Amino acid sequence: MRDVLGIVQANRHTADRIAATLLAPDPRFRRTSDGRWTLATPPAETSPVLEACQWAVVDVETTGVRAFHGDRIIEIAVVRLDGTVAFHSLINPGIPVPNFVQGLTGIAPKLLREAPPFEEVVDDLLHVFAGCVFVAHNARFDWAFVSTEIERAAGLLLQGPRVCTVRLARKLLPDLPRRNLDTVSYHFGIEIEGRHRATGDAVAAAKCLAKLIRLAQGNGATTLVDLYNL
């Protein structure tokens, strides 16, 4: 109670009642015979079948490539598997946007001046992510930026399953010369409307994911774990 909730003066009886109120209804915790609270042994879980998974396909545009060294998100989009946009926003990064990025994305500083900072959209974004598999084309990049921004804005660690469409394409499309979004989209006959903008790239990645999942199912994958094992 002292370290987590900051209740410095709580006596043992009060602290015990608070802990019981918070933890007893939660099946992730159990109480030992000597009164301590501990993590419950998780039940054996069956990996969800692919048809039952909810997918959050993410794309971010950023001020650079160094998520852990000061670069920031300037635009983010989250798209469902069917291509519908679940979330989109320009983001005021609070730092200058390099000319190269402005030229690549078309996102000029004047577009960002009235945009919300990340902390104003983080709650909505977390709601969109809840219960979903995080997907991106080069997921390591997007996950690094999104998780860093969420930790900075809300003090929370982004957790959950994630899938990379680049890695899936590497396994399922071994004859492609490259696995960038342009090449994979072209292979599937998918047109990218608004390249190097978060929504256009995320919609294309979602359509690629749908094609890749079907290929994976043709290779025997039925569950999310099967997809990981690819």
Looking at residue 3, its amino acid is D
Q: Are residues 31 and 85 in the same domain?
A: no
Arithmetic mean of pLDDT, 179-201: 97
For 60, the domain range is 50-229
Q: Are residues 23 and 115 in the same domain?
A: no
Q: Are residues 194 and 110 in the same domain?
A: yes
| Residues found in the chain | 230
Q: Are residues 122 and 219 in the same domain?
A: yes
Residue 163 placed within a domain: yes
Q: Are residues 16 and 70 in the same domain?
A: no
The single-letter DSSP state of residue 49 is B
Residue 64 placed within a domain: yes
* Cβ 188 vs Cβ 211: under 8 Å: yes
Q: Are residues 27 and 137 in the same domain?
A: no
Could you tell me the sign of the dihedral formed by the alpha carbons of 191, 55, 62, 117, in that order?
positive
Q: Are residues 30 and 140 in the same domain?
A: no
**Angstrom distance (rounded) from CA 136 to CA 143:** 8
Full-model pTM: 0.80
- For residue 99, give both structure tokens: 């000319």
pLDDT in tens, 75-119: 999 999 999 999 999 999 999 999 999 999 999 999 999 999 999
Q: How many domains does the structure of the chain reveal?
A: 2
Q: Which positions ≥6 away from 33 have C-beta within 8 Å?
A: none
Residue 44 placed within a domain: no
**Angstrom distance (rounded) from CA 75 to CA 69:** 18
pLDDT in tens, 120-166: 999 999 999 999 999 999 999 999 999 999 999 999 989 889 999 99
